[in-house]
Amino acid sequence: MRVLIVDDERLARAELRRLLAAFPDVEVVGEATHVEQARQQVEALAPDLLLLDIQMPGGTGFDVLEHLDEPPDVIFTTAYDAHAVRAFSVNALDYLLKPIEAERLAEALERVRQRGHVPQAPESSRPTGTPLERVFVRDGERCWLVQLAQVPLISSEGNYSRLHLPGHQPLLLRSLSYLEEKLDPARFFRASRQHLINLDFVETLEPGPGGTLVARLRGGPEVEMSRRQSLRFRERMSL
């Protein structure tokens, strides 16, 4: 995967290079610090991916894209979330907030691979990081960051997941199995094929039918665990 870094801050470019060094299938082919230079570099280097800052001398990251006939895949990297809606309107694959976390960068690069424009990286080359702590969600025209520690319940909706928060339930474009692998196992427990529960929100446990357990979540619904997961939960909690 050939990557062009576009950012006017030297330290930000250096940090991206450091993070990208963990991915054997990624090659940083160049850097640009302003809009016109970015356009020239894209034309000359034909990168697969732009890691593109928004605010820079001579215009914005959006200005870079507007003057490209065939822009490469784009991941925006910025210190602000105010441009998120516009970023997705120009088909950006992801929107990373600085300081960029290795785990979020790994997710974003995987989205690029899944587009089919670049080879898939072998599993062994994908770095494992700290548990996923926050996600960027979109609900209509609204985009925001969600701290996962504040989510009592996550339910499955096919290949996607629904975050159950007080007052709103945004859809996350990740499967429940993916989240189970990435979330902190000390906090989140797979209650059934349909549900992940946040153990910090469990108020009471009651016996359910057929030896199952029913968890009542603070500020949320009751969730019946499957028989297998009820057994695992009892073993885990020494019940």
* Partners of 148 in the β-ladder: none
Q: Report pLDDT for 121.
A: 46
Nearest residue to 20 via CA among 37, 42, 1: 1
> What's the whole-number mean pLDDT along residues 113-123?
55
- Tell me the pLDDT tens digit for each residue of 124-172: 444 455 788 887 776 665 667 788 999 999 999 877 889 999 888 888 8
Q: Which domain holds residue 182?
A: 141-237
Tell me if 128 is assigned to some domain.
no
pTM of the complete model beyond 0.85: no
- Tell me the pLDDT tens digit for each residue of 45-69: 989 899 999 888 888 888 888 877 7
Q: Are 211 and 149 contained in the same domain?
A: yes
**Which CATH number does the domain housing residue 193 bear?**
2.40.50.1020
> What's the whole-number mean pLDDT along residues 213-239?
88
149: enclosing H helix or E strand: none
Q: Are 166 and 226 contained in the same domain?
A: yes
Q: Are 106 and 206 contained in the same domain?
A: no
3-state secondary structure of 142: strand
Tell me if 111 is assigned to some domain.
yes
Tell me if 127 is assigned to some domain.
no
- CA pseudo-torsion sign 139, 153, 75, 82: positive
